[in-house]
Amino acid sequence: MRIPLRLPRSAAPPVPAGPPRSAQVRALVAVLDDAVAAQRPADEAVAACGEPGPVSRQTARDCGLQSIALHRLRTRLQDLRLTDPDLVLAQAQAARLLSYDLWMLRESLDLAFTVHRDARTEAARLRLNGLGRRADDLRRLRDGLRAEVR
């Protein structure tokens, strides 16, 4: 007697439909609102790493706290169960942008608190002035999705 390895198509359980697109957009926008709000203190922490003179321990703490906040937001973003293909793409783009913010915080700390100071490292550190264009990209992505909710 042979046992079938697959159920016949008619016997397969139905695939539950995901939430409506409008609910998915609202969930994504809610996380992106928090992410955009978190960018301001992260931007300030990166800029503080580029200030002339010694970098304070408070700046290091601020970078660490902002890294934690952005990591949690990226996790919340990735935990969203989106089914609409356009929203899945927006979710992936937002995750990349948050990953860039996290990378900037890490690199800023590395430049500000390097063990072996040299002129090249110091010049790179002094050019730090915030998160840059990628922060604007996240804001634009959020604003475009928010316009859909209205």
Domain ranges of the chain: 20-149
Lowest mean per-residue pLDDT among 22-26, 124-128, 146-150: 146-150
Confidence of residue 7 (pLDDT cuts 50, 70, 90): low
Confidence of residue 9 (pLDDT cuts 50, 70, 90): low
Contact 32, 149 (CB under 8 A): no
Give the C-alpha separation, 1 to 9, whole Å: 21
How far lies 53's CA from each of 4, 50, 56, in Å?
73, 9, 9
Q: Does 150 have pLDDT greater than 80?
A: no
Give the C-alpha separation, 71 to 106, whole Å: 12
Confidence of residue 67 (pLDDT cuts 50, 70, 90): very high
Tell whether pTM > 0.85.
no
